[in-house]
Structure 1
């Protein structure tokens, strides 16, 4: 099951300073990690950006947060956007730390530190020292490139390069329509207080489809929900989820707004504002339940 999480480039628009903006982004990355999102996609919301924390800042901090700690200094160095990364909460992704990362056949990210002769490279993958590995015939790697390393033993070290996607959370930048049109988008859900209220019945209906096809969940920005970002009226959203009623059937019909369903996962909210990072936890938690 593929899980894609979409957040706008205006995500940190209400932050008073860079430190607060960085902390907020850290909790977004942590929510995506906790619920095993495969991709965290930043889509453009130019009208909502304040100028201080644009999509470059947002995507850079999120990509840094998703980088395994043992690679951060080597992969990023010193950058203005990363001034306050010390406030980021640790992700502790199971693909990076904990028992699963040390088990037989586990994979982890590495970075190529040196390209040698005869297809051999040295890779820093978080062990005590960089290790020397053979490059598979299907791969061409360069110094500074991130690679996937499969570790079958740590004492003695037995590892090999794998020609495959990097493990862990991937952070990308693309427009909303492209993200919703991916082959692995699955059920496309818009998180909005104007959407259909999440009920036990709706969740039960959605669970089988999401477990089979995966899901893409999009979120808005502070003071700029998805309707405003898309330039539509809240009444259009109500009409859209009425047309895509999933109470009595498993199949989710796409609406003319690009989503299969508009969903309010915090019905009868007790606060006037649900922050984006809070909405991620409130939305991904029930949608991650299985039948």
Structure 2
């Protein structure tokens, strides 16, 4: 089952400073990791961005998804990562090197040097970079991330394996492109104006999600998905009592099943779900919605 999570570039629109924005992005990465998401995709919501947009969000997410032993090598010093120290640890097996089978553990490494004799030096979090033979038909470049299988640490015995780097991957793409992927599975939009998720409704969904995988999209604080897709401001859609809604309704108060994300590029969600049907707060933050939603939607049949 492939799980993709979509979050907007306006994810940290309400953050008061860079430190708070960084911490919030960290909990988004943590939610995706806890529920074993394969991809975390940032889609553009430029009208909702404020001080920190998609480039900042993507950089911090990529850093958070990088194993700690590779961060200095991969990132160096960048202004976006000024408060990277507040990021919560993901502690995913792909980061800690605790994924294992009969042949030992696997972990990520970075190629630091490519030699002329079919060997490369790889930094994989051991005391020093190690020299490894490149498998036949595998091509690697300096700076590339690779998978290393370690069978012994004392003495060091390891080999480079021709396998995709495991763990959460971070991408940035248009919403229509993300929903149009062949492995998108069940495409779910979360909104407080969607169909309430119930035990019986989840029962009918579980088998389909387990078989096909899913793509789940989330909005940002006070700016829900329908507002992003329909382009109507919160002020234009006040509730009946004059209190602005959270941006999760369209112009006529309905939730569409199909919305044109951009001219000539229609995008369709299979479901609009309210995954927090009894919310006690007017606004559910993106990271809170992710924990609540993915906890339900990843339950086995």
Same fold flag (TM > 0.5): yes
Task: Show the 5 A alignment for 1:105-184.
Answer: 105-184=104-183
**Post-superposition offset of 1:119:** 0.9
* 1:238-270 deviation digits (Å, cap 9, x = unpaired): 4539xxxxxxxxxxxxxx851110111100211
TM-score, length of structure 2 as denominator length: 0.87
The alpha-carbon distance between structure 1 residues 187 and 237, as it changes in their structure 2 partners (threshold 3 A), is farther
The alpha-carbon distance between structure 1 residues 73 and 281, as it changes in their structure 2 partners (threshold 3 A), is same
2:98–2:105 Cα contact (<8 Å) kept: no
Q: Counterpart of 1:24?
A: 24
Give secondary structure in 2 for the equivalent of 1:211.
helix
**Post-superposition offset of 1:103:** 7.1
Q: Counterpart of 1:65?
A: 64
Number of aligned pairs?
276
Q: Counterpart of 1:253?
A: none
Q: Counterpart of 1:270?
A: 280
State the alpha-carbon separation in 1 of the partners of residues 128 and 101 from structure 2.
16
State the alpha-carbon separation in 1 of the partners of residues 268 and 126 from structure 2.
45
The alpha-carbon distance between structure 1 residues 235 and 213, as it changes in their structure 2 partners (threshold 3 A), is farther
State the alpha-carbon separation in 2 of the partners of residues 103 and 289 from structure 1.
28
Following TM superposition, the consecutive aligned residue runs of length 4 or more in structure 1 with deviations greater than 4 angstroms are: 234-237
2:149–2:158 Cα contact (<8 Å) kept: yes
**Post-superposition offset of 1:113:** 1.1
Q: Counterpart of 1:15?
A: 15
1:113–1:143 Cα contact (<8 Å) kept: yes
State the alpha-carbon separation in 1 of the partners of residues 102 and 282 from structure 2.
46
Q: Counterpart of 2:241?
A: none
State the alpha-carbon separation in 2 of the partners of residues 124 and 98 from structure 1.
13
* 1:35-83 deviation digits (Å, cap 9, x = unpaired): 0010100011111111x20111000000000000000011000000000
**Post-superposition offset of 1:187:** 0.6
2:11–2:57 Cα contact (<8 Å) kept: yes
Q: Counterpart of 2:42?
A: 42
2:179–2:215 Cα contact (<8 Å) kept: yes
The alpha-carbon distance between structure 1 residues 290 and 82, as it changes in their structure 2 partners (threshold 3 A), is same
**Post-superposition offset of 1:99:** 4.2
Give secondary structure in 2 for the equivalent of 1:223.
coil
Are 2:269 and 1:259 equivalent residues in the alignment?
Answer: yes
The alpha-carbon distance between structure 1 residues 218 and 4, as it changes in their structure 2 partners (threshold 3 A), is same
In structure 2, the gaps of 5 or more residues are 232-249, 259-265
Q: Counterpart of 1:2?
A: 2
**Post-superposition offset of 1:157:** 2.6
